Every structure is written in C-alpha cells, then in structure tokens.
Amino acid sequence: MQLYNKLSAEERRLLIAEAGTERLTLSFYQYHQVENPQILRDHLFLHWNEMYVLGRIYVAHEGINAQLSVPAPRFDDFKIFLDGISFLEGVRLNIAVEQDNESFLKLTVKVRDKIVADGLDDATFDVTQKGIHLNAEDFNALLSQPDTVCVDMRNHYESEIGHFKGAVTPDVDTFRQSLPLIEQDLSQHKEDKKLLMYCTGGIRCEKASAYFKHKGFKNVFQLEGGIIEYARQVNEKGLKNNFIGKNFVFDERRGERISEDVIAQCHQCGAPCDSHVNCANEACHLLFIQCDSCCEKRQNCCSTDCQEIINLPLEEQRKRRKGKHNSNKIFKKGRSEVLKFKH
C-alpha cells in the first residue's frame, strides 16, 4: 500500500507530458473538527494518488487546506469523492485564473498542528465564529466606503506584486505576525470602522475574521473565496476590478496576473518587474523578484557568490552543501542584503 510520493519532480514532469492530458489547478479549505487527522490524511492520499492528483495538502484537527492539480477528465470523479466526505460536501473549489499542467509535480499530504499557523494558544478562541462573507460586488461596494479599513492578510512578498487599491499591506513575513500587529494598529477603531479583509483563497481571512471578532471588533467582513474567486467573478460579471497587479500563488507558477499593472520592481536592478524566481544555487534557493535581463546576466542567481557556486562542478557543489542546511533567509522571501532594490 503506497502512502507517500515515490517519484521525483522530473519523473513526474515526464509522465505529465507523456499523458498529454490537460490539468486543472484548484484549491479549497474547510475548517472542521477532525478527530483523527492521520486517518483522513491516508484516506486522501490513497484515493488521490489513484486519480493522478498532485498538490500540497495539510490536514489538522481544525480542518484541511488543499492546493491541487487534477487531470481535467477526472474532475467529476474528484468532486464526487469530495462530496462523499461529509464535511467536504459542496465545498467551494477555487479554480486558478491561469492554468499550468506543471503547477504541482508531487502529491504531498501532511498532518500539521494547524492548517494555518497562527501562533495562538487560546482555548476560548473559536475559529468557526467567522465574519461576514462578501462576494466581489459587495466587496467593491464596501471597499469604497470611507469608514472601511481594508487589510491584506497576506505576507509582504505577496502584497508586493499585487493588492487591492487603498489596502493596508502589513510588512510581515508570516500570518502569525500579522494578527497582533493589525489588532494593535486598529485597537481604537473596534466599533467605528468596518474591518474588511482579503487573502489568496479565503483561508487566512476566515481565521483572522474569527480572531478579530474574538478580540472585540464589531464589524468584520472578508472576501469570500479570496482574490482567486474575486477575479473569476469580476471577469464573469463584468465588474470593476479593484485589484492591481499579480496574485501570488504557492505553486510552480508563483503568480496569476489579475491586472496589467506591474507595481513591483526587480530586486537587483530596480526595473519594473513582478516575476518571482528561486535562486539557482540549491544551497540558497532564496525567493526574490528578478527581471529577464538580470536573470540572463546573473544566471538566475540572487548574488555573485551564488553565481560562482553554480558554475563549480556538481561534485564540488554537493561537497559544499554536505552537512549544511539552507539559511533561514529563504523563508524571509527576499529580505536579503544582497538585493539592493527590495523595499
């Protein structure tokens, strides 16, 4: 019985090409009290592996968070399978704005303490006591009101390439950092302001809205389905698009273009650019923004040091990496001193 992925990314890439089948990139989440996450985890892997589903899925006692790539001909089977799990019946599926057959190259299902790390240790906090969900049209209406404070619940490297007009974009590395920061900044407006939040697909806002209600905010709203669903509704209904730039996504695409605006810049030369890359030096792997010109000149590296390393023989590179772990700066997503144009 296979319960874990056994193929490398390159092996999977070849299989996808050979299959010649279009794939759908989608995501979903659901907060729910899961009694035994490990049993659910194994159940999901067994069935999704048979369906050739790929992706990154987290299961915890508080629910499930899934980002997936599904063969288009198997979508109906996938949906029937989800509906057969009581708390996932009818769950909203966020279909990606831009499709890519290689958005995911492995099936990874992990049991975590929480599906969204929040740093909270409060037994009285109930994540199901969420705020009011808004569709794209209602979100636009509330966004335009003078007593609304719109807050981006994503991290700095996400909002850097795209955000809603007029939104507060906290300069944070993680979701857990944003909760106390926003509460502190808006502590004087718990009753007189409408707190309007958004994120990529809705999962962070769902928890954040419950958290801020728990902390005494009276008027808490969130964009249902996040930026992904907002873009779909805007295109489908011909609504005004108030999102500028790209929506950062956590797969091989790294971004979906929502508007033609380019609001970020290359972290190496300062030219207008919103394309994230990972440093080609496997011992670094830093995520940063790099334009085509710098990519060619720097060989997809974040620094001259990394560029020198990737031009060494492979055996020498492996020798240098042996016994070492990547620096924590990888998880700072571009906060490196070598990047001169990172704000």
279 is catalytic: no
What's the token pair of residue 186?
A: 């808006």
* Rounded to 5°, angle at Cα 117 from 321 and 54: 65
Contact 77, 51 (CB under 8 A): yes
Q: Is 57 helix (H, G, I), strand (E, B) or coil?
A: strand
Out of 199, 266, 302, 306, the active site residue is 199
Instruction: Give, in degrees to the nearest 5, the angle at Cα 45 between 40 and 49.
Output: 155
Decide: 187 and 170 in contact? Cβ < 8 Å: no
Residue 222: C-alpha distances to residues 20, 129, 134, 138, 209 (Å): 39, 13, 6, 10, 7
Q: Exposed e or buried b for every residue in 50-62, given b needs 16+ CB within 10 A?
A: eebbbbbbbbbeb
Catalytic machinery residues = 199
